[in-house]
Every structure is written in C-alpha cells, then in structure tokens.
Structure 1
Amino acid sequence: MDHHDDLGEFLASRRAKLTPQDAGLPDFGGRRRVPGLRREEVAMLAGMSPEYYRRLERGNATGVSDAVLDGVSRALQLDEAEHAHLYALVRAANVARTTGPKQSSRKHQVSAALRQTIDAMWTVPVFVQNGRLDAVATNGLGRALFSEMLDGVEEPANAARFMFLDHRAQEFYRDWEGNARQIVATLRAEAGRSPYDRTLSNLVGELSTRSDYFRKLWGSHDVREHRTGLKSIHHPIVGPLDLSFQSMDLTADRGLVMVVFTAEPGSPSHTGLQLLANLAASDTAIASTVRERPT
C-alpha cells in the first residue's frame, strides 16, 4: 500500500462528496470541473493556505499539527470513524517517509479464559474476529450460525473472502450489497490502523484481483466502525433470521473483537435461533469446544 497515495485519495474522496451548499458556501453557478468542493474552498473552511492543503492532498503530511488535521476534519465534515482514519493515514505517511515501511503480520490467538467464556455463552451465537475479519474463534451456536462461511474452507475463514468470492454469500446475506459495503469500509479502517500488515495487504490484493465489485468499493475510500446493528441472514437450515449484534473490543486479547448476536424474544427469529441451538447441541461436531483458528 502506498500510504501517501492513500492519504491524498482519501481527502479527495471526502472533498468530492460535499457541495458548496453542504459546506454553507455560496454557489455562483457555472460548471465545476470536478465534483464536490475545490481544494481552495476546503483550505478556506479549514483556516489554512491553499498551498498547504494541496500539499496535504498530495500526501505530504510533514509537520502537520493536530490543530490543522482537526480543521481539515471539520471542513470535510468527517464523522468519528473518518476522523480517526485521517489521523491513522497521516501517521502511516510520516512513518513511511522517515523510517520506511516495517512489514508485519499480526497473529492472533484467543486466551484460555476467553475460550471458556464464549463457550459458556451457549444461548447466543458468539463470533471472535481480528481486524482483517478472520474468524479466530466461535462458540457452538456461532459456528452453526455461520456454517456457510466456516465449514469446508481453508483456515482461517475470512468474512471478506466469503462475501466477495463465495456465491453462497449472496443468498446467505439478505442485504448482500449493504453488508459488502460494510465489510470493505471496515477493512479500509483496519488498513489505516495497521498499514504494514502484510496479510491484510495480500487479502486486499487478492480481493481486488478477483472481484470487480470489491475493487470498486475499495476505491471509494469509505471507512466505518461496525459496533452495533441488525444482521439479516437466510440460514440454510432454519431460514430467515433478523439478529441484533453488539461488537466489543477485547482488552485482554488486543486486536480482537467479540461479536454477540441476539434475537428479539418471541419473534420468529428467536424461534429459529432456538431451533438452531437445539440442532447444534445435538451435533457433537459443532458443540464440542470453541475452535481456535490460527491466523
């Protein structure tokens, strides 16, 4: 990944999303050569010189202060995830300039205590993943819920690889396009946080080569945090399920996120989830122990 290009392309993509009206600027009409705000308009809104902003959009973040970045963030109306991503890209660009890239590939394992904890949560599906969206561990019900993604694939199973390269994903996710956009935005945020993760770079390269739609979404530079929401799926055994989810960072297992799924009591999804739990409990291959997956 070229971190100078990532910084410039991210800023340009956010600028292209804003109109003068969005930014509270007068629009004097006339044809604009590019969509969105001009660089000079962003610079004015951020309280900096046009040349300084142009330098930043060219990927040169040398000596840029937090105050400047905050001004740019306000001018481009960045949300919390985009604001954090901007800071991450600036750090990566400066590290690449001063010390050069230091390739790494973080490996994640769950602790014995975490394995015991999620195994004890047998009434709800639990899914533990790393920033690359590798499946690191599940409990029995979590494995049953995501059997389409987990079974019969080379470990570690990866949610992005399943989404874009496995034809079953389009039936499994009832809002496939929305989930696809979410996954790419999540990977974009992780790429900013972990700019020298070699395994992540290889994953992005693979998906970009094999999926035109992934490549298109990756080029949009959208970023998002995926903390809570509704997951609508079509399970091959129990049918449609609408599940709420909560994502929690694991402080004792840094870099890992635990996702817990629940269904509204008394709903058809709750009935379906209970049926799946019964089926999982009767299948010793599914309900044995939490499965740790090497990354």
Structure 2
Amino acid sequence: MSRYAGRSRELGAFLRERRHRLTPATVGLPDGPRRTPGLRREEVAELAGLSVGYYTRLEQGHAPHPSDSVLDALARTYHLTEDETRHLRALGGSAPTQVRAEDGERVSASAVRLLELFVPPTAVIVLGRTGDVLAWNHAATVLFPGRLPAPGERPGPASNNARYIFCTEVARDFFVDWPEVADDTVAHLRSAAGHLVDDPALRALVDELTAASPEFAARWTRRDVRERVSGAKRLDHPRLGRITIGYEVTAVLDVPGQWLVVYTFDGSTAARFEKLLPEHVEIRPPASTQG
C-alpha cells in the first residue's frame, strides 16, 4: 500500500467515525427515527457544500489529496477541535509530515542538553514519535518505579508510554485515574498517527497493543484525537503514597516527533521526593539512541 493510499483510507475511517458521532440536532436537522446513529452521507455533503459522490469517495478512501477548502469545510461541519483539525489536515496531506518513517529514532542532542539544565527533584523524560522513552534523568527513574532503569542503561519494552499504561499491572495501581490516563495516551498516539500512517514502527506497536489489550483496542477504534501539553496526574507512589504531580510537554524542534516532558511537585512533596534521590545524577541516553 502506498503512503497516499494509507492516508486516504485512514482519512475515510476518521470521517465515518465522526459522522456517526454527530447528531442531527447538533447541526439543526430534524431528529427523527434513523437506521444508524449519526448523520447520513447526503446530509454531511450538503452541510459541507460537497457533492454526495465526492464525499462518498472520501469516506471510501478513493479521493486522495482533498483541498484545504474541503478540509476546512469538513472541520466546520464536524465541529472539530484544534487537535482534531490538525489530525484531519495531516490525513488529508495538507499539513506537512512531521516525521518520516525512515528517519530512525535517535534522541535529539539538544533535548539531552536541556535535560542537564533541570535540577532535582524535577523529573524529565524525552519521548520519541511512538512514545518510547529515549532519554531521562534519575528523578524519572525514581518517579516511575519499574518503568525505567538508571540513566544510560537500555530501557525495556515497558518504557514505551502505551505499553506501560496498557500492558503492566503496576500502571493500573500507580495512576489513580487510570481510565483517564489511558484515554489520553491513546488519543495522543492517534494524533501522532496522522503524521505516521506509513510508519512500520507505529503499525507494529498498534498491532501488538490491539492483540494484547482489549481496552487499548476499544479506545483505538474510537479515533479520539487529543494533545495534552500540560496538566496534573494523581499517583499512588509506592514510596510516597498518594501524590499529585504537574507536567509540561514541549516539542523538540531539531528532531520533529520528539517531546520533552517535565514533571514537577508541590513544595512538601518535592522535599520528600528529593530525599529519595542520590546526590550525583548522571544524564545520558542509551548509546543506541544518541543523535
């Protein structure tokens, strides 16, 4: 399958899913009995100012490269959020592709330098395009027990964000609001997928998680799209008990598709957490991921 055929097929699936979600009342249409949930194709085409035949081809994956005006009309019709609109544009080929599958996954050198600027007790990780942890500091090892080894050692499969959430029992106990964290994890991965339709690493990860976790599979088919850049998480930490951490996510500009994630604590928690850390903290990514 060509990269364009893959994008067109995923675009069609995204449009079908959004059409089924939209109710007639939301767009000012009579809400009478219907065979299936959502709107009919004819209704969407009329609302978006498209021919029924063309919209049908879009849903069937047979109309590659829709224009910006078509994508804008569909985004308005479906009341898409900013994150969803960016995803739609990526699938439609309007947004520039952020990451190429052949780029490999070497951690950004500038991200490693940024890691060195953060002092304990701040925990920092660098995430790759499919959620693999590429670099981290010792505070991150202590914050996420069982997920990351000491900095510089090779991380295991559970270091991947989605694998950690869906394939380890510790994560279900660790995150107080696990269902919400699981929703956000899949929505963020789905957002990245708009730029990675032809990436074999993403396809392999999704296939693996779909087979291993029915909860992942159910969320993946919903095609929710969301990018969280800041917020808070409640944790049940094995050494600190119930705590709340804040996080900020920043894109790494010199290597598209990588993210710097910074975790912070309130005053009393920070003091307790810092006591768990060694005095000397060495920061270096595994040799296989250095750029």
Name the TM tier (shorter chain). 0.7 to 0.9
What residue in structure 1 maps to residue 117 of structure 2? 120
Q: Compared with structure 1, are the counterparts of its residues 244 and 127 closer, same or farther at alpha carbon in structure 2 (3 Å cutoff)?
A: same
Deviation at 1:279, TM superposition (A): 1.3
After the TM superposition, which residues 204-215 of structure 1 pair with which residues of structure 2 at under 5 Å, given as runs? Answer: 204-215=206-217
TM-score, normalised to structure 2's length?
Answer: 0.87
The residue type paired with residue 110 of structure 1 is S
Deviation at 1:254, TM superposition (A): 3.0
Alpha-carbon distance in 2 for matches of 1:240, 1:105 = 40
Alpha-carbon distance in 2 for matches of 1:167, 1:90 = 38
What residue in structure 1 maps to residue 277 of structure 2? 280
Q: Quick check: 1:110–1:292 contact (8 Å CA) kept in 2?
A: no
Alpha-carbon distance in 2 for matches of 1:85, 1:7 = 9
Name the SS for the 1:195 alignment partner.
Answer: coil
What residue in structure 1 maps to residue 23 of structure 2? 19
After the TM superposition, which residues 180-195 of structure 1 pair with which residues of structure 2 at under 5 Å, given as runs? Answer: 180-195=182-197
Name the SS for the 1:43 alignment partner.
Answer: helix
What residue in structure 1 maps to residue 135 of structure 2? 137
Q: Quick check: 1:149–1:159 contact (8 Å CA) kept in 2?
A: no
TM-score, normalised to structure 1's length?
Answer: 0.86
Which residue of 38, 57, 66 maps to 1:36? Answer: 38
Q: Quick check: 1:119–1:140 contact (8 Å CA) kept in 2?
A: no
Which residue of 158, 161, 184 maps to 2:160? Answer: 158
Matched, 1:271 2:273: no
Which of 202-211 and 55-64 deviates more?
55-64
The residue type paired with residue 208 of structure 2 is E
Deviation at 1:153, TM superposition (A): 5.5
What residue in structure 2 maps to residue 82 of structure 1? 84
Name the SS for the 2:107 alignment partner.
Answer: coil
Dislocated runs of 4+, deviation >6 Å: none
Structure 1: segments with no counterpart, 5+ residues? 96-101, 265-269
Alpha-carbon distance in 2 for matches of 1:155, 1:293 = 16
What residue in structure 1 maps to residue 53 of structure 2? 51
The residue type paired with residue 203 of structure 1 is L
Deviation at 1:53, TM superposition (A): 1.0
Structure 2: segments with no counterpart, 5+ residues? none
Deviation at 1:261, TM superposition (A): 1.6
Q: Quick check: 1:88–1:193 contact (8 Å CA) kept in 2?
A: yes
Q: Compared with structure 1, are the counterparts of its residues 61 and 289 closer, same or farther at alpha carbon in structure 2 (3 Å cutoff)?
A: same
The residue type paired with residue 12 of structure 2 is G
Deviation at 1:72, TM superposition (A): 0.8
RMSD of equivalent CA atoms: 2.3
**Deviations 1:192-212 (Å, cap 9, x if unpaired)?**
112222111111111011111
Q: Quick check: 2:248–2:263 contact (8 Å CA) kept in 1?
A: yes
Which residue of 137, 147, 153 maps to 2:145? Answer: 147
Q: Quick check: 2:12–2:59 contact (8 Å CA) kept in 1?
A: yes
What residue in structure 2 maps to residue 246 of structure 1? 248
Which residue of 163, 167, 179 maps to 1:177? Answer: 179
Alpha-carbon distance in 2 for matches of 1:103, 1:243 = 33
Alpha-carbon distance in 2 for matches of 1:216, 1:293 = 36
Alpha-carbon distance in 2 for matches of 1:277, 1:116 = 22
Which of 191-200 and 210-219 deviates more?
191-200
The residue type paired with residue 106 of structure 1 is G
The residue type paired with residue 260 of structure 1 is V
Deviation at 1:271, TM superposition (A): 2.0
Deviation at 1:63, TM superposition (A): 4.9
What residue in structure 2 maps to residue 289 of structure 1? 283
Name the SS for the 2:261 alignment partner.
Answer: strand
